[in-house]
Amino acid sequence: MNIVVCIKQVPGTTQVKINPETGTLIRDGVEAVVNPFDEYAIEEAVRIKEKTGGTVKVITMGPPQADAVLRTAISMGADEGYLVSDRAFAGSDTWATSYTLSSGIKTMGKVDLIICGKQAIDGDTAQVGPGVAEMLDIPFVAWVKKVEEITENSIKVQRLMEEGYDVVEMPLPGLITVVKEINTPRVAGLKGKMKAKSAAIITLNTSNMDVNPERIGLKGSPTQVLRSFVPERKSGGEKISGDVGELVQKTASVIQNLGVVK
């Protein structure tokens, strides 16, 4: 089975800090990591490979230093890393990113299954996975929390919905996006880390990929950011402590006054 995992380098969330003077995010000095949802995707791909045999290729789009996340994936058991990197791709929105990644995947030959994390924790859009599926014209299932069965030609998965889950079957090649519940990603061992360090990363750019120049980067991106701003933080309201009876009474009357309980 030939599996491809799409991953993204993101700032480690807990360290996201706001510059108090300008009110913008401080990204400098923030550690760059593999998007957490993509770790579940990598882990699931490696688990499938361990069962069925085959290879796991990871692909990311970003600046040259984004090769670090490909190496992390290789340390977890992926076989090959593809870095899609070109100045011409700068300013890509999710549409152009989906288009560019799908073009990158087309260079890989036969692909049976593509796995993506459900969304990236910086943009939170959840658009690139379905976008790639659409552009490759392959079937797609979102929010996968379990792979029940996989054969050469089809996959059966559980898709998380608001009130439970659907059991969905689709033919392969296909694309799934995965949620946190699907597995617990392994911690890379020394052997994996050594392998990752020396692994050759394949770089894809406009010279070795077949892309329409009209559909990449800023020009190919339908959306643009008009403005970005830091939302006003909710400031804490009243804080009370003391006798349980009094606390309960106060809380009950606050809830009553909200008028949300019939």
Partner 1 sequence: MGIKVNLEKCIGCSLCVKACGPGAITITDKKAVIDMSKCTMCAACVESCKKFQAIEITKESSAKIDVKEYKNVAVFIEQHDGKIAGVSYEMLGEGRKLADDLGEKLVAVLLGSGMSDAAADLVKYGADKVVYFDSPELVQFRDDTYTALVCEFIESDKPSILLAGASSVGRSFVPKIAARVWGGLTADCTKLDVDTERRLLLGTRPAFGGNLMATIIAPHHRPQIATVRHKVMKAAARDESRTGEVVVKSVDASKINERTKILNFVKEVESTVNITEADVIVSGGRGMGKAENFALIRDLAEALGGAVGASRAAVDNEWIAYSHQVGQTGKTVCPKLYIACGISGSVQHMAGMQSSDFIIAINKDPNADIFQIANLGIVGDALEILPELTKVFKEKVCA
Residues 6 or more apart in contact with residue 14 via CB below 8 angstroms: none
Counting contacts by CB under 8 A, is residue 227 touching partner 1? yes
Q: How, if at all, do strands 25-26 and 17-18 pair?
A: antiparallel
Which residues in 128-167 contact partner 1 (CB under 8 A)? Answer: 129-131, 133-135, 139-143, 145, 156, 158-167
Phi, psi for 179 (deg, rounded to 5)? -105, 170
Report in angstroms how near the CB of residue 157 gets to partner 1 at its nearest: 10
Counting contacts by CB under 8 A, is residue 24 touching partner 1? yes
| Selected binder of partner 1 within 153, 198, 207, 228 (CB under 8 A) | 228
Residue written as tokens 């995992």? Answer: 5
Counting contacts by CB under 8 A, is residue 255 touching partner 1? yes
User: Which stretch, 69-77, 106-114, 120-128, 194-202, contacts partner 1 (CB under 8 A)?
Assistant: 120-128
Counting contacts by CB under 8 A, is residue 87 touching partner 1? yes
Interface size with partner 1, residues (CB under 8 A): 98
Residues 6 or more apart in contact with residue 68 via CB below 8 angstroms: 9, 32
Counting contacts by CB under 8 A, is residue 194 touching partner 1? no
User: Which stretch, 13-21, 72-80, 106-114, 194-202, contacts partner 1 (CB under 8 A)?
Assistant: 13-21
Counting contacts by CB under 8 A, is residue 32 touching partner 1? no
Q: Decide whether 48 or 96 has the Cβ nearer to partner 1.
A: 96
Report whether 50 contacts 78 (CB < 8 A): no
Report in angstroms how near the CB of residue 107 gets to partner 1 at its nearest: 19
**Dist CA 85 CA 99 (whole Å):** 14
Q: Decide whether 50 or 166 has the Cβ nearer to partner 1.
A: 166
Give first-to-last CA distance, the chain, whole Å.
55
Counting contacts by CB under 8 A, is residue 186 touching partner 1? no
- Indicate the angle between helix axes 190-198 and 67-75, nearest 10 degrees: 140
Q: Decide whether 53 or 222 has the Cβ nearer to partner 1.
A: 222
Q: Is the dihedral of CA 58, 201, 101, 61 positive or negative?
A: positive
